Amino acid sequence: MSGDKMEVELAEQKLKTMEHSEQHYFKSYDHHGIHEEMLKDEVRTRSYMNAIVQNKHIFKDKVVLDVGCGTAILSMFAAKAGAKHVIGVDMSTIIFKAREIVKTNGLSDKITLIQGKMEEIELPFPQVDIIISEWMGYFLLYESMLDTVLYARDKYLVKDGLIFPDKATIFFAGIEDGDYKEEKIGFWDNVYGFDYTPLKETALSEPLVDTVDLKAVVTDPVPVLTLDLYTCTTADLAFNTSFTLTAKRDDFVHALVSWFDIDFTACHKPIRFSTGPHTKYTHWKQTVFYIKDVLTTQDGEEIHCKLDVKPNNKNRRDLDIEIEYNFQTSDANRVASGGSEYKMC
């Protein structure tokens, strides 16, 4: 058996010893399609390319760690920017294809790709100058690798080392989405003459990952969480906060929508990209949380919300999310309050 085949087989055997949820996560990145989708996401890939390649003065002669390197596109950007050496780490067996890609592009002397979990492998360098990673999941934190990036930061990053990107912000807004809410939630009121409302709660508890038309956004957006990757800890990935949405026109609110912005602040010219409804499509789309009530809002009125987010106890890559809303107005017929629990799994 060749060395490559033996390594692939050992990697697959190691995957089988993991919890089912971890197996599922890592094996999902074995497939060609998910990498094609990410690479074709121009907002994502071009932002990373610009942040790295346009800042050669930062990367020149540096040791760079690419956490969750996938097909090694970020590693190759870093090598192209003049890095002394790049180490890419990924648990998925896609890394064996990545090695072929790196070799095909004549970069094998500059890039070392290691298959394994970041927390279990040893790097060929005791410290690194820069960490790069595309760790974000839906709703930023669903299935995200941020805790792995933080582990790498604490173990390997030199004092005053850099992280690309280094800032992430989650936003919320209210949206009018009556037609789709009726199709998704109202459907269960009458299914071929039968009352299926017991499934209505289930439908409400599943956030929808989809693209939202900017015209549907009824309120001003509000940031609810900002993560500074230099200082945040895994404890910060469970959070609760209060926020207020202000209606910008007379309309209805059927759901809340969330997205995130990503910043590379270490760049000579700071680079940011957004996954919101106001910008170009990304594969993260937006996350929609339907609420039980229909809020009838007028321009300038406020919806007071509370948000609680934490990793699921059984599978830390899944999220348990609770949203409470309180809409008070002088018109008693329009007053509403309630809450829902959501599971991203």
130 forms bridges with which residues in the sheet? Answer: 64, 162
Q: Peptide bond preceding 311: is omega within 30 degrees of 0, i.e. cis?
A: no
> Tens digits of per-residue pLDDT, 249-264?
999 999 999 999 999 9
In the predicted model, is pLDDT for residue 56 greater than 90? yes
Please give the C-alpha separations between residue 27 and each of 16, 81, 122, 313, 338, in angstroms, as whole numbers: 10, 31, 22, 21, 39
DSSP state of 100: H
Q: Which of 19, 42, 120, 134 is catalytic?
A: 134
What pLDDT, on a 0 to 100 scale, did the predictor assign at position 20? 60
Domain 3-134, architecture per CATH: 3-Layer(aba) Sandwich (3.40)
**Residue pair 230/168 in contact by the 8 Å Cβ criterion:** no
- The single residue of 7, 19, 36, 143 carrying the catalytic annotation is 143
Q: Where are the domains of the chain?
A: 3-134, 168-344
Indicate if 143 belongs to the active site.
Answer: yes
Cα–Cα dist 209/333, whole Å: 32
Whether residue 300 has pLDDT greater than 80: yes
From the list 306, 294, 297, the residue with the least C-alpha distance to 328 is: 297
Instruction: Report percent pLDDT > 90 for the chain.
Output: 83
| Whether the Cβ atoms of residue 277 and residue 257 lie closer than 8 Å to each other | yes
Task: Give the lowest-confidence range in 124-128, 186-190, 238-242, 274-278.
Answer: 186-190
Give the pLDDT band of residue 12 (cuts 50, 70, 90).
Answer: low
CB atoms within 10 A of CB 1: 8
CA Rg, the chain, in Å? 22
Give the mean pLDDT of the chain: 92
Tokens encoding 207: 């956030």
List, for residues 148-199, the tens digit of each pLDDT value.
Answer: 999 999 999 999 999 999 999 999 999 999 998 999 899 999 999 999 999 9
Average pLDDT score over residue span 136-154: 95
Residue-level pLDDT at 39: 78
Contact, 204 vs 321, CB < 8 A? no
Neighbours of 131 (CB within 10 A): 21
Question: Of 3.40.50.720, 3.30.70.600, 3.40.190.10, 2.70.160.11, which CATH number belongs to 168-344?
Answer: 2.70.160.11
CA-to-CA separations, 225 to 50, 159, 172, 316, in angstroms, rounded: 25, 26, 10, 19
pLDDT tens digits, one per residue of 37-53: 887 889 999 999 999 99
pTM: 0.90
Q: Residue 57: pLDDT above 80?
A: yes
Is the predicted pLDDT of residue 15 greater than 70, yes or no?
no
Q: Is 201 a catalytic residue?
A: no
